[in-house]
Amino acid sequence: MNKLQPEQQKQKLLLPAGNRESFYAALEAGADAVYLGLSNFNARRRASNFSENNLSVLLSEAHQHHAKVFVTLNIVVKNRELTDLLNTLQMLERHRVDGIIIQDWGVYFLAKRYFPALPLHASTQMAIHNSVGVQYCAEQKFSQVILARELTMSELQRITAEATLPVEIFVHGALCYSMSGLCLFSSFKGGNSANRGLCTQPCRRFYAQNGDKKLIFSLKDNQQVEKIRQFEKLGISTLKVEGRLKPADYVYKVGKAYREILDDFHCLNDSKTALEQDFGREKTGFFLDNNIADVFTNHAATGVFLGEVVDSNETGFALRPTIPITEKNRLFIQHPNDDNQDVVKVKTVKHVGDFEWVDSEIPVKIGSRVFLASQNSRTFPNRFPNVEPLRIPPLPPEKSSRILQSLIPWQEKPKETEYWIRIAQPEWLDNIYIKDYQKVILYFDKTTIRDFSLNAATLKAFSQRFWMELPAFIPESDLDFWATQCRKMDKLGIGGFVVNQLAQTKLLPEKAHFGINENGYAFNDAAIAFFMRQRADFWIYPLENDMNNLIDGKDRNGVVNLFFYPKLFYARTPVKMKNNEWFSDENGENSYRKYARDGVTIVVPQHPVCLFQHRQRLENEGFSRFLIDLTEERTNKFKAKNLLQNLKNGISENDSTTFNFERKLF
């Protein structure tokens, strides 16, 4: 049992609302709370979402049903968006929303400092996956924490046993292959960032491997309906259903099934039967079942497969469906050789022989796969009552300007340019000239860090230049191991530590120096202002950043990574591929490599990102700390030397890309 008071432990059902119909569906299903997004700053920007004008009436409607409303602001925010963010936070505070779900530490800092009445929930995008993560959120006065999906039952037990704030978990819906907040694949493919709410679902795409095209990373849907009693005993506060892109009847059907179990566990069998018709994918208990051998699906699309299109014209298409199609059905159309899918709402359907002809306003190709997404057997209101909205004026421009100007104090430019390097193998220390680098970041796996020591006199002489980096994912069972290694490295006299999350500072020796790597998301001046107040020595800017956002900020003391292989997927779920095996896009345009490290599956592109050609402009803009990341490179006597020389000369590497740096990050 966790440390919360009994009255705080009553389980609540949290349902999604991506539009007005699904909002009312959630209320009718018996939601204790509804989570939804506005038109900006949320991780489902492809949903219909809601306007500010909707908010006051929406809150009134929910509260009449004794349900709370949580608003999602769970993306990372660009510097140019900070003024709009301040206005949004003020509006949400004035409307007295019941909570906001956030990812960005900049959002956290501004909300806590200037809008303290807003209850803050740590999004699953923050990748909170162990007890120190929950403890840190409690210390920062979050009202609730949403745990990562990749947890075993034993880990959940250990985390909740120490929790001092309400804990929320996902119990139903789609699963991402990569850990939330650590996926760069969509962003890498075209600038549509998952961390900005525009994921194009690369894990649902087909990839080519050994001449075959197949789904490698597409997971089944999460379903934890049988574990409700266990969650209750653990003191889990909130059970969350994923699905802000799902239709209203999905929200109602799934929500009602879980509501009935929460009210009476004897309804389990009936609820399980109802959930079989949720029009999702096949189901998995994922890590909570301690069985991940069968978590992948051969169908990327959701819904019941009806058949392939055998004829089409400009007015519709024909198929032989496995079950009858009726008016008001909602269909997903998966076009051949196309990762995208369209939605068709059936208005009319005609039976012609063995075929059913569906009228469609969009062109549908022969060979397209058709899925029944929903039957829309129940209707829900699609309009709110006609009530005069409560309009909140924006902050006065001078106040917004004053707040933003105060975030970053005046910074004195370093006297000289600093070059940093990151390595994953100790053999690199024999192949680099340490004096060339202000800092040498040691990104070692468990075996390497355990056996590492500064035996050579030359290494001891430069010990302060070495900084030990912790992994992005530290399971509960490894917390003591990494805390021990941090103490060992501290005694060796290294300069400090590099953390992926601020919560990892709790594993460091007292008063140890630390910096924050790219996964901490120093994406805007507000986040950096918070890092500075947490006494971080430095921060590495995010890998998916673009040039405009970087120079739009006032901060110039961060570290710009100019050579790296981005970790496109960072997942706990293993795939059926050999280590260091290659695969490519379905059309063969780009190749990628998969490997495993300390139980984590990582996917990187074939070619590195290189930004050496931008060094001079960055220096002209005031940046002076540059990093070369060799963690994906094999040890080579000349590699580091050549890269450093090219960096200084502003010469890009052959067969490299620029990620989002030269294009806009959406």
Do 430 and 503 belong together in one domain? yes
CA-closest candidate to residue 14, choices 37, 38, 30, 34: 34
Give the Cα separation of 334 and 97 in Å (integer).
38
pLDDT score, position 226: 96
The pLDDT of residue 338 is 66
Instruction: Say if 654 falls within a structural domain.
Output: no
Beta strands in 309-417 (DSSP E): 311-313, 316-319, 330-334, 341-345, 349-352, 355-359, 369-374
- 273 and 310 assigned to the same domain: no
Q: Indicate whether 534 and 582 sit together in one domain.
A: no
Q: Single out the residue in 556, 579, 607 at which a domain terminates.
A: 607
Residue 632's CB: how many other CB atoms inside 10 A?
Answer: 16
Q: Domain range spanning residue 92?
A: 6-175+222-279
Distance in angstroms (rounded) separating the CA atoms of residues 665 and 542: 12
Co-location of 348 and 249 in the same domain: no
Distance (Å, whole) CA 11 – CA 645 = 59
Residues 313 and 204 in one domain: no
Task: Write out pLDDT tens, residues 517-546.
Answer: 999 999 999 999 999 999 999 999 999 999
Average pLDDT rounded to a whole number, residues 429-438: 95
Per-residue model confidence (pLDDT) at position 586: 83
* Separation of first and last alpha carbons in the chain: 43
Q: What is the DSSP letter of 438?
A: S
pLDDT at residue number 210: 84
Helix (H, G, I), strand (E, B) or coil at 520: helix
pLDDT at 72 over 80: yes
Domains: count for the chain? 4
Instruction: List 421's β-bridge partners, or say none.
Output: 440, 628
Could you tell me if 530 and 548 lie in one domain? yes
Residue 4 is predicted with a pLDDT of 63
pLDDT at 7 over 50: no
- Please, is 554 exposed, middle or buried when counting C-beta atoms within 10 Å of its C-beta (0-12, 13-18, 19+)? middle
Alpha carbon distance 583, 586 (integer Å): 9
- Same domain for 210 and 227? no
Residues 99-108, mean pLDDT to the nearest whole number: 98
The answer to whether residues 439 and 626 touch, using CB atoms and an 8 Å cutoff, is no
Q: How far apart are CA 394 and CA 88, in angstroms?
A: 8
Report H helices in 140-225: 153-162, 185-190
C-alpha span between 34 and 259 (Å, rounded): 13
CA within 13 Å, CB half, 660:
23
Decide: 133 and 163 in contact? Cβ < 8 Å. no
What CATH number should be reported for the domain holding residue 100?
3.20.20.70
CATH number where 310 lies: 2.40.30
For Cα atoms 184, 186, 188, give the angle at the middle one, nearest 5 degrees.
65
Please state the φ and ψ torsions of residue 307, each to the nearest 5 degrees: 145, 180
Kindly tell me the burial class for residue 542, based on how many C-beta atoms sit within 10 Å of its own C-beta (0-12, 13-18, 19 or more). Answer: buried
Q: Report the CATH number that the domain containing residue 438 is assigned in CATH.
A: 3.20.20.380
pTM: 0.93
Decide if 134 contacts 165 (C-beta within 8 A).
yes
Q: How far is CA 175 from each of CA 51, 119, 302, rounded to the nearest angstrom?
A: 28, 27, 12
What strands, in cross-sheet order, belong to the sheet with 355-359? 311-313, 316-319, 355-359, 349-352
Residues 194-247 have pLDDT tens digits of: 999 999 999 999 999 888 889 999 999 999 999 999 999 999 999 999 999 898
DSSP structural state of residue 178 = S
Name the residue with tokens 């129940």: 378
Same domain, 193 and 111: no
If you average pLDDT over residues 123-150, what whole number do you get?
Answer: 98
Residue 524 lies inside a defined structural domain of this protein: yes
Domain-ending residue, one of 607, 637, 658: 607
Cβ-defined contacts of 535-541 (< 8 Å, 24+)? 537/496, 537/513, 538/625, 539/515, 540/498, 540/515, 540/516, 540/627
Rounded distance between C-alpha atoms, residue 170 and residue 89, angstroms: 26
**Same domain, yes or no: 495 and 601:** no
Query: Is the four-CA dihedral 130, 136, 139, 141 of positive or negative sign?
Result: negative
**Encoded amino acid at 89, one letter:** L
> Does 381 reside within a domain?
no
Note whether 552 and 485 are same-domain residues: yes
Confidence of residue 254 (pLDDT cuts 50, 70, 90): very high
Compute, in degrees rounded to 10, the torsion defined by CA atoms 404, 409, 414, 419.
Answer: -50
3-class secondary structure per residue, 100-143: EEECCHHHHHHHHHHCCCCCEEECHHHCCCCHHHHHHHHHCCCC
Is the distance from CB of 510 to CB of 497 less than 8 angstroms?
A: no
Query: Using one digit for the tens of pLDDT, what is the confidence trace for 166-181?
Result: 999 999 999 999 999 9
Residue 288 lies in a domain: no
pLDDT exceeds 90 at position 117? yes
Please calculate the CA angle 507-513-518 and round it to the nearest 5 degrees: 80
Phi then psi dihedrals of residue 373, to 5 deg: -90, -35
pLDDT in tens, 332-350: 898 886 666 788 989 999 9
Token couple for 86: 């301040």
Q: What is the edge-to-edge ordering of all strands in the sheet holding 330-334?
A: 304-308, 369-374, 330-334, 341-345
For residue 274 the two structure tokens come to 């109802």
Is there a contact between 389 and 57 (Cβ–Cβ < 8 Å)? yes
The reply to whether 663 falls in a domain is no
The reply to whether 293 falls in a domain is no
Q: Which residues pair with 355 in a beta bridge?
A: 352
Judgement on whether residues 53 and 187 belong to the same structural domain of the protein: no
Residue with tokens 């069998």: 269
pLDDT above 50 (res 567): yes
* Confidence tier at 3 by pLDDT (50, 70, 90): low
Instruction: Examine the domain organization and report whether 198 and 89 are in the same domain.
Output: no
295: in domain: no
Residues in contact with 239: Cβ distance below 8 Å, sequence separation at least 6, in sequence order: 11, 12, 13, 14, 168, 169, 171, 224, 228, 231, 258, 262
Give the domain-ending residue among 556, 575, 607: 607
573-621 pLDDT tens trace: 999 888 889 999 988 889 999 999 999 999 999 999 999 999 999 999 9
pLDDT more than 90, % of the chain: 80
How far apart CA 492 and CA 463 sit, in angstroms, is 8
Alpha-carbon span 188 to 366, nearest angstrom: 31
Residue 195 lies in a domain: yes
